[in-house]
Structure 1
Amino acid sequence: MTKKDFDAVRESMHSAISLNKAEVLDFVLNDFSEGYLSLSFENRRKLLTMLAQVYDLNRTQVRDLIKQYLGLELPGSNASESSTVDEEAMLSSFYRLERNLRQVLKPAYELLFERLNNHHGGLRFLSILRADILSILEEENIGSLQVLDSCLKEKLNAWLSPAALELQQITWDDPASLLEKIAAYEAVHPISNLLDLKRRLGVGRLCFGYLHPAIPGEPLIFMEVALLKNVAQTIHEVLWDAPPIVESEATCAFLFYIINSVSTTSHEVK
């Protein structure tokens, strides 16, 4: 990617933070996310470092407001009794400065995260951003990126609350794109081919996944279940039970033999 292309992505990032017109914001967020994904890893590192440093807190404003706050006199601190009206007037200055402090203690990049979360496909994109941030931090401990990561992690933990996840049974009739993810993400006992996948979703086998409404078709966690007549002594008996046991003949409690945390989103929020 040329410098001009990088500058275009940087400008779209700035617009995504600074613009307030709803009618153009979706276009700008699309432009930024698509541009970011086209960047090399080195340019992503450069852009994320810029985001962490340039769009951080304005500490001059924070310091000035703190000085003003510390200069206020607490109601009732004066030896002479003051009226309720006077105390309320004094407290109004505290309220105003506290409100202003809350505003300036919010870095500009937090607004970008919030706007992306409300944008179609934004939550998936934010998970990619965090994966990139963590990859950079594994190579180099950059303080500003650590703070950026903490902010994004806190947001993702709230947006990916377990209460928002939906439990869904996954069957052979589900879209191929979803089945491909199950096969690709299986990390405990790899799925060798389509026949193996079909067997694990067939007679005597169940598969359930937790999905988030904002990331359709992307299982964050999935588990595979075997129905058995007797408690298995080895995993081989579970994987290669032949012939499979139909549900009506199963006498053993459901055996959860594989649980995977699979996507970048769920894996990286830790």
Structure 2
Amino acid sequence: MTRTGYLGDLLSQLAERRFVPLRAVSDKPLREMCAALIAGEGEVSTMRLAGDILASYARLDETGKRAFFALLAEEYDITPEAVTQAALRYGEDRDANTLRWLLEAAEPKRQSLLRRLNHAPGATGELVRMRRDLLRLLPEMPELARVDLDFAHLFQSWFNRGFLVLKQVTWESPARLLEKIIEYEAVHAIGDWEALRARVDPKDRRCFAFLHPAMPDEPLIFVEVALTKGIPNSVQNLLAPDRTCLDAAQTDTATFYSISNCQVGLKGISFGNSLIKQVVALLQQEFPHLRNFVTLSPIPGLVAWMRELAEQGDSAAQSCLEADHSADKAAAQSLRAFGARYLLEAKDNKGRPRDPVARFHLHNGALVHEIHAQADTSARGLRQSCGAMVNYLYDLEQVEANHESYAAQHKIASTRSMRQLARVKPD
């Protein structure tokens, strides 16, 4: 996949732009350096100070990081009285000047500080990692939530879809990027380089990632795709080392079997919907004969939900949890029925599907197509879903309508067979 246009040029220019302090780490207090950064005007001094601050932050221990974020929360917040006065003035005289004063008063100084920090080479990735630290501290320091609002607000703009580059990851991709694919794979672990090669090199396999020009070696999210004949029902078969590689002409289905969000510091910034839509478009262009676009997805909350049912006296759920689904066809069918009920009926406290993977795909416009027992026999698969997995189908003619129904009413699109299966009461 070639890179063209402005973003491609920018990506090339920034390929070696990583965070390196411009000089030895300053021994000045962070409080003093942050104040100087806000007050400064020169581009060179801003870049230098930003680099010094980020380098000093990187050396902080946990106590120091808590103090730094507390500084941002208390000393770089808005001044409520100024906001009130500016709002009153705008209410009396709605012109550009009073609106500008209101907007300036309502924007925390933290946002200006973060923007200036981003002037340092490689700063964007450092700020993403800084937010990762912030998110980790939030449970014990809830007062930092307003600091996180500013990070999230800026990242929504900085990581806008228009700034992202979709790149096919191949065996010829830079080693740094390939290492990150191994590191960040969140669904089906990649054990070594040969296992990675089996996922990105064969002619019936594809991997695509979103990159940001300021973080060229750090995938934001990536999806692994298998070109298959028919809709698959086992991830072990899909990833078997001795499987037969298919010629593209033999395939009729693109199966998205792993989607991994890579950056904890970008939590809440959605990339998945855009990624899947763009990958589908690329696959259609390369393989116009493909008829199905499906996933083979985990059901991570199924066992926990069934245990709750068992604790409430549901003997069928308890029996299903204890059964050998590989040897007992009735138990396997019971597991499928529980899986259908879980995906179609179990809700969280916001009225949404309880399962996080289901929420992701249903929001993107997919429908619940089929559930398989013995689909993931890994230790993780057995632990979280007794080995069950689900196909979500992206029916390209219905994706938009499904998305609208889900977004407006949390209506779950599914096949008739899944709705019937959900009504089955396991013995």
Q: Same fold (TM over 0.5)?
A: yes
Cα distance, 1:183 vs structure 2: 0.5
Q: Deviations over 1:6-46 (max 9, x none)?
A: 85233222222221111211111111111101101211110
Partner Cα separation in structure 2 for residue 60 and residue 6 of structure 1: 35
Q: CA RMSD in A?
A: 2.4
Structural mapping, 1:97-246, within 5 Å: 97-142=98-143, 145-203=144-202, 204-240=204-240, 242-246=242-246
Relative to 1, partners in 2 of residues 1:6 and 1:19: Cα closer, same or farther, differing over 3 Å?
Answer: same
Q: Deviations over 1:129-173 (max 9, x none)?
A: 22222212112321xx22221122111112111232211110111
Partner Cα separation in structure 1 for residue 121 and residue 38 of structure 2: 17
Q: Which stretch shows the higher mean deviation, 209-218 or 226-235?
A: 226-235
Q: Deviations over 1:188-233 (max 9, x none)?
A: 1101111111111221221111111121111111111112234323
Partner Cα separation in structure 1 for residue 90 and residue 226 of structure 2: 63
Equivalent residue number for residue 16 of structure 1 = 37
Q: Contact 1:127/1:268 (CA < 8 Å) preserved in 2?
A: no
State the aligned residue count: 244
SS of equivalent to 2:186: coil
Partner Cα separation in structure 2 for residue 250 and residue 262 of structure 1: 33
Q: Deviations over 1:48-97 (max 9, x none)?
A: 11111111123343344456667x5xxxxxxxxxxxxxxxxxx58x6544
Partner Cα separation in structure 2 for residue 46 and residue 147 of structure 1: 15
Q: Contact 2:86/2:105 (CA < 8 Å) preserved in 1?
A: no
Q: Which stretch shows the higher mean deviation, 196-205 or 168-177?
A: 196-205
Q: Contact 1:130/1:149 (CA < 8 Å) preserved in 2?
A: yes
Partner Cα separation in structure 1 for residue 83 and residue 254 of structure 2: 57
Larger Rg: 1
Q: Deviations over 1:98-130 (max 9, x none)?
A: 432322222211111222344432221221222
Could you list the structure 1 runs, at least 4 aligned residues long, displaced by more than 4 angstroms after superposition.
63-70
Partner Cα separation in structure 1 for residue 27 and residue 45 of structure 2: 21
Structure 2: which 5+ residue stretches go unaligned?
Answer: 1-25, 271-427
Q: Which stretch shows the higher mean deviation, 11-20 or 61-70?
A: 61-70
**Higher RCO (C-alpha 8 Å, min separation 6):** 1
Partner Cα separation in structure 2 for residue 35 and residue 97 of structure 1: 39
Q: Which amino acid aligns with 2:122?
A: G
Q: Contact 2:155/2:266 (CA < 8 Å) preserved in 1?
A: no
TM-score scaled by structure 2? 0.53
Q: Deviations over 1:217-251 (max 9, x none)?
A: 11111111112234323111101163432434532
Matched, 1:253 2:253: yes
Relative to 1, partners in 2 of residues 1:265 and 1:247: Cα closer, same or farther, differing over 3 Å?
Answer: farther
**Paired-residue identity, %:** 30
Q: Contact 1:229/1:249 (CA < 8 Å) preserved in 2?
A: no
Relative to 1, partners in 2 of residues 1:176 and 1:196: Cα closer, same or farther, differing over 3 Å?
Answer: same
Relative to 1, partners in 2 of residues 1:21 and 1:169: Cα closer, same or farther, differing over 3 Å?
Answer: same
TM-score scaled by structure 1? 0.81
Relative to 1, partners in 2 of residues 1:67 and 1:261: Cα closer, same or farther, differing over 3 Å?
Answer: closer
